[in-house]
A = this chain, B = another copy of it.
Amino acid sequence: MISSVTAFAPATVANLGPGFDVIGLAIDGIGDTVTVSRSTTPGVHLTAIHGDGGLLPLDPTLNTAAIAASETIKAAGAALGITLKLHKGLALCSGLGSSAASAVAAAYATNLLLGSPLRKHDLIGPCMEAEAVVAGRHADNVAPALLGGLVLIRSTNPLDIVRLPIPEGLTVVVVRPEMALPTKKARAALPTHIELSTMVAATAQIAGLVSACYSGDLSLLSRCLADPVVTPARIGLIPGGQNALDAALDAGALGASISGAGPSLFALCRSVRSAKATAQAMTSAFLDAGLPATSHISPANCPGVRRLRQAPKAS
């Protein structure tokens, strides 16, 4: 019987272009790590969080890792006492799916500890329950963090998930300016209503985007990444944000937009070479606005959550 499992779940870009609340993408190389161990005490106990600067609650009813672990045990119909140790690799409120990564790593590790009674797909529900507590009931971070790649959330109730193909060579840049933008504030910037003609523009964009993913037509993909509603409403909350998006296009990116609820931005590029130039241009634009920013480059086609054979050293 396994006594302890460690899992890593990646960062994700949700609200991908015109895919507000419905398209998300997994990123390679940055994410959260959770170690789940059997305990003789019933219930879910969060014993340590590293890398959060002391900001996250240890209360298991308020932490997405603990909620997701608890919901996974419930979904499996099991009874198990566990302790969790969480290593945050992702900054909070950065727009890179930080809460989702914690939830997904915890749910996946817990399921492994239980002997894998649930499929990955079955973990989306438990992770969404965790997201609902902190960030709203949506799946465009947790689904790609679990499944990897590019994921369309056709419906959350009932859950209906479609994995989309990714054009070869497509590369993602994420740029995170040093500021926090609470999801609540980003949601408040959105219009409650939009014109019908704007909906037509939005449906045309996302339809073209999905078509481009299947056909590999990067020129079409480029034309379809602009989002007529959400990015214009939110970009003003991010100092230097619009300049950084413009700089990405000037540097040759196929398109650029806000990652999740921001303040991170993402750009899609034809190649690693183009991604490097784009990352440089975007961080410079933020610096010009007085915000230091870090960038990360990843293939667009990345795996989701995975088991680590060794727990991080700090645990």
Contact = CB atoms under 8 A, between A and B. Distances in A.
Interface stretch (A27-35, A199-207, A248-256): A199-207
Interface stretch (A15-23, A50-58, A283-291, A297-305): A15-23
Contact of A207 (B152, B192, B215, B229): B152
Given A194-B193, A194-B196, A206 B206 contact: yes
A152 B154 CA distance: 19
A203 B204 CA distance: 9
Contacts of A210: 207, 210-211, 214
A202 B199 contact: yes
- Classify chain A's interface size: 35 or more
Contacts of A160: 208, 223
Nearest to A162: B211
Interface string A131-169: 000000000000000000000111100001010100000
Contacts of A194: 193-194, 196, 199
A164 B195 contact: no
A220 interface: yes
A62 interface: no
A196 B229 contact: yes
Contact of A154 (B21, B22, B155, B208): B208
Given A207-B23, A210-B210, A214-B211, A199 B229 contact: yes
Given A152-B207, A195-B192, A207-B154, A200 B22 contact: yes
A200 to B, nearest CB: 5
A193 to B, nearest CB: 4
Contact of A22 (B22, B191, B204): B204
Contact of A220 (B18, B162, B204): B162
B152 A211 contact: yes
A164 B211 contact: yes
A13 to B, nearest CB: 16
A196 B202 contact: no
A308 to B, nearest CB: 33
A269 interface: no
A224 B21 contact: no
3 smallest beta-carbon distances between A and B, as pairs: A214-B214, A154-B208, A210-B210
14 contacts: A20-B199, A20-B203, A22-B200, A154-B220, A154-B224, A160-B208, A162-B208, A162-B220, A191-B196, A192-B195, A194-B196, A198-B199, A206-B206, A210-B214
